[in-house]
Structure 1
Amino acid sequence: MQSPIPFVRIGTRGSPLALAQARLVRSLLARQHGVAETEIEIVPISTGGDRSQHSNASLSEIGGKGLFTKEIDTALLDGSVDIAVHSSKDVATILPAGIAMPVYLEREDARDAFISYSVQGMDYLPEYARFGTSSIRRAAQVLRARPDLKIVPFRGNVDTRLQKLADGVADATMLAVAGLNRLGQGHKITAMLDPELFMPAPAQGAIGIAARAGDPRALALITPLDHGETHGAIAAERAMLRVLDGSCRTPVGALTVLNGSTMTLKGEILSLDGREFFADAVSGPMQDAEALGDALGQQLLKLAGTRFLAQWAEH
């Protein structure tokens, strides 16, 4: 007997966090459209970023953000899946032709968390302690606060990194609060980090849903799930990142604060060693989100100057 055709097929990475996010989207779609969750198929897709995890190389060394989306984009474009669920911070700022990402679920906590099994906060780490991260943003921010610390490579999914910490590969690490919460592991957080001092990655904590630009049915199915305030914040942060670079070669932080219909976007760029950094902010109506992000990106480029920016081209 032939299997029934799914109501919709969701493409996703196969990591525990990605699958948890896809299950959340499945639940919301089922409720929104009055269908059983069993009628919605989740299709795990292996990506180059996932397959490279064992190498411990940073994303900046092996190709950047697109490593986590390329195969999913291909499946979307060839019709193997109908929609795709992404961690928005993993999505390149320029989408492939034919793909739209018009929907963002309500943002989780965007902050980063400090995690250690030996000390209660970054200030308590002994001199020259090992800090595990393969994010150049996190490394730069850590070195700005504690230039004595030794950065050690620390790739892998959330469970893998927590296990590496338990195994003594590093004395501490930093993980996104949103991912820990979505996996039910928020209790592993040792200390919350001040987002003014440790600005999150642009779009951190937000789930994005993509579809084929020319697929009206899929777009109609996902559009009701869009959260307007989150959409505005992510549009601004991604616009800023697009101006600055848009890859994983650039340490960039972003923080959006909403007050009614007014948006304040803060951003920073750092040198890889954290010794130099430039920060600025813009405010304006949320309806001008992309223009605000673009303006802040241009302001940061002007503040940094050509000498500072030249280092990015060298890495």
Structure 2
Amino acid sequence: MRRVVVGTRRSELAVTQTQWVMDRLADHLPAGWDMRQEKIVTKGDQILHVTLSKVGGKGLFVKEIEQALLDGRIDLAVHSMKDMPGDMPDGLCFGAVTSREDPRDCLLSRNGETLDELPENALVGTSSLRRQAQLLAYRPDLRVEPVRGNLNTRYRKLMEGQFDAIVLAAAGISRMGWEEKVTQYLPEEVMLPAVGQGALAVQCREEDEEMREVLQKAHDPATDRTVRAERTFLHAFEGGCHLPIAGYAVQKGEEVLLRGLVAHPSGSRVLKGEQRHKDPEEAGRLLAAELLDKGARELLAEVKEGLDG
């Protein structure tokens, strides 16, 4: 008999995603095993009055859950891959990377306008510097302000008239069954996704070989390859998942094609590039080197100085 405790954030989306993984694993558990969820409150869930980037975005939604894994209070954890920092604590690993949902971002507007149709000076809500930078690069006339809280809270704020539109990840919308609320799916050319967006990371202890074997049943090797390229790219910039950095990879024959972006939150400067390689990590390293050559390190240093100030 083994009671498997699965750690998750307590938001409706997190619980839904975790249950999805548990359902995938249910038929593959050894005899006598059962699973239950343990909801864990993270720092990112507690601090709702300021933007993530102001409170040290790296690991805000995962640190407490990772500690519970290390302490043995839980046996595995389900995270949105886009929330995962570039670094992982010693002793932990990804037991599975799930098949990717729609990686795009989408626009939900109160009056049904697309991004092009929003009136001048419209107020768009997002707490992501990545989204803010790309919105303002495309529509400098827009006003972009933070909107925090879970999906239900953000949608309520939109419909109450606090914002003209909000930007959310399409994957979360799909998992919540909210597709009818979407006004527009934003194309990659306008809004390059966050690293790992649309995929789930199932984390466990490295030493727990029994659990790692079970988790392989939920693992998608194709998604894992593309996400590894993206995360290698992110890691070159100290893994700050709440900085204005985007990366999205697709499999092209035997190669991985990776597109990446580093931007100023004002949208005034956007550095873009792409690389392809048979080795996903090499694609990530090559693209990071390309953008560093274009001035990405100096740009991000300026961004961090502004946030710290």
Judge same fold: TM > 0.5, yes or no.
yes
Which residue is equivalent to 1:100?
Answer: 93
- Equivalent position SS for 1:147: coil
Which residue is equivalent to 1:74?
Answer: 67
Query: Residue 292 in 1 paired to residue 287 in 2?
Result: no
Which residue is equivalent to 2:251?
Answer: 258
For residue 117 of structure 2, the aligned residue among 121, 124, 128 is 124
Residue-by-residue CA offset, 1:123-143 (whole Å, 9 max, x unaligned): 111111111111101111111
For residue 260 of structure 2, the aligned residue among 264, 267, 272 is 267
Deviation at 1:294, TM superposition (A): 1.5
- Equivalent position SS for 1:106: coil
Which residue is equivalent to 1:14?
Answer: 10
Shift in alpha-carbon separation, 1:64–1:261, aligned structure 2, 3 A = same
Q: TM-score, normalised by structure 1?
A: 0.93
Shift in alpha-carbon separation, 1:106–1:306, aligned structure 2, 3 A = closer
Query: Residue 29 in 1 paired to residue 11 in 2?
Result: no
Question: Using the alignment, how far apart are the partners of 1:124 and 1:76 within structure 2?
Answer: 47
Conservation of the 8 A alpha-carbon contact between 2:101 and 2:198: yes
Map residues 131-210 of structure 1 onto 2, 5 A cutoff.
131-210=124-203
Shift in alpha-carbon separation, 1:242–1:225, aligned structure 2, 3 A = same
Deviation at 1:120, TM superposition (A): 2.3
Conservation of the 8 A alpha-carbon contact between 2:237 and 2:297: no
Question: Using the alignment, how far apart are the partners of 2:37 and 2:297 within structure 1?
Answer: 46
Query: Residue 109 in 1 paired to residue 138 in 2?
Result: no
Q: TM-score, normalised by structure 2?
A: 0.94
Deviation at 1:101, TM superposition (A): 1.3
Residue-by-residue CA offset, 1:62-115 (whole Å, 9 max, x unaligned): 121311111111110111111110001101110011111141000000000011
Shift in alpha-carbon separation, 1:129–1:43, aligned structure 2, 3 A = same
Shift in alpha-carbon separation, 1:180–1:170, aligned structure 2, 3 A = same
Q: How many residues align?
A: 306
Question: Using the alignment, how far apart are the partners of 2:94 and 2:155 within structure 1?
Answer: 31
For residue 204 of structure 2, the aligned residue among 200, 211, 236 is 211
Question: Using the alignment, how far apart are the partners of 2:44 and 2:250 within structure 1?
Answer: 31
> Higher mean Cα deviation, 14-23 or 144-153?
144-153
Which residue is equivalent to 2:38?
Answer: 43
Shift in alpha-carbon separation, 1:306–1:231, aligned structure 2, 3 A = closer
Which residue is equivalent to 2:292?
Answer: 301
- Equivalent position SS for 1:125: coil
Shift in alpha-carbon separation, 1:191–1:35, aligned structure 2, 3 A = farther
Stretches of structure 1 that go unaligned for 5 or more consecutive residues are none
Deviation at 1:305, TM superposition (A): 5.6
Shift in alpha-carbon separation, 1:305–1:193, aligned structure 2, 3 A = closer
Conservation of the 8 A alpha-carbon contact between 2:129 and 2:243: yes
- Equivalent position SS for 1:61: helix
Stretches of structure 2 that go unaligned for 5 or more consecutive residues are none
Question: Using the alignment, how far apart are the partners of 2:98 and 2:303 within structure 1?
Answer: 32
Shift in alpha-carbon separation, 1:23–1:35, aligned structure 2, 3 A = farther
RMSD: 1.7
Question: Using the alignment, how far apart are the partners of 1:21 and 1:114 within structure 2?
Answer: 21
Question: Using the alignment, how far apart are the partners of 2:160 and 2:113 within structure 1?
Answer: 18
- Equivalent position SS for 1:265: strand
1:31 counterpart letter in structure 2: D
Question: Using the alignment, how far apart are the partners of 1:94 and 1:197 within structure 2?
Answer: 28
Residue-by-residue CA offset, 1:233-263 (whole Å, 9 max, x unaligned): 1111011011123114521111212123221
Question: Using the alignment, how far apart are the partners of 2:300 and 2:10 within structure 1?
Answer: 36
Conservation of the 8 A alpha-carbon contact between 2:124 and 2:144: yes
Larger proportion of helix: 1
Conservation of the 8 A alpha-carbon contact between 1:113 and 1:176: yes
Question: Using the alignment, how far apart are the partners of 2:96 and 2:294 within structure 1?
Answer: 33
